[in-house]
């Protein structure tokens, strides 16, 4: 059976991004690799390794590039949380940026919130009990 393994995003400061995903969002640093010939470093973070069936995030740092134009094609990463209200309090206390406070989606009952990582990528937090429903 096929499995979604990871989503890759390019980051401008690998250490800052690893700190955000591990210390603020609570993921684990699963592994890193460095490619001196092509001048990039990869860090894989997630709540569990891909072998558990969970997808992870690949943070790609291209040496010497400190920022990217996020463009309009990428939307967000989504994370299911048991309590998005409590999670947002913890994220804010850890210095994270909440861009949409937790609450029901406009015109619906699914509870969501949005946070932003240090590079400006949006991360949607969805109340886990609502995570498999359409956003309504």
Phi and psi based region of residue 15 (left: phi greater than 0; alpha: psi -120 to 50; beta: remaining): alpha
Given 34, 37, 50, 124, which residue is catalytic?
A: 124
Task: Give yes or no: 124 in active site.
Answer: yes
Q: How does 77-110 read in b/e, with b if 16+ C-beta sit within 10 Å?
A: bebebeebeebbeebeeeebebeeebeebeeeee
* Residues belonging to the chain: 136
- The rounded distance, in Å, linking the Cα atoms of 95 and 118 is 10
Catalytic residue set = 124
């Amino acid at each position: 059976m096929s499995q979604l393994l990871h989503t890759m995003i390019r980051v401008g400061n690998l250490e800052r991004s690893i700190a955000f995903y591990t210390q603020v969002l609570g993921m684990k640093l699963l592994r890193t690799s460095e490619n001196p010939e092509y001048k990039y470093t990869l860090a894989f973070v997630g709540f569990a390794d891909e072998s558990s069936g969970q997808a992870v995030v690949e943070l790609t740092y291209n040496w010497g590039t400190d920022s990217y134009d996020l463009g309009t094609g990428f939307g967000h990463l989504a994370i299911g949380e048991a309590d998005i209200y409590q999670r947002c309090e913890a994220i804010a206390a850890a210095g994270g940026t909440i861009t949409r406070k937790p609450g029901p989606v406009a015109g619906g009952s699914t509870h969501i919130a949005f946070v932003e990582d240090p590079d400006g990528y949006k991360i949607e937090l969805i109340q886990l009990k609502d995570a498999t429903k359409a956003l309504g």
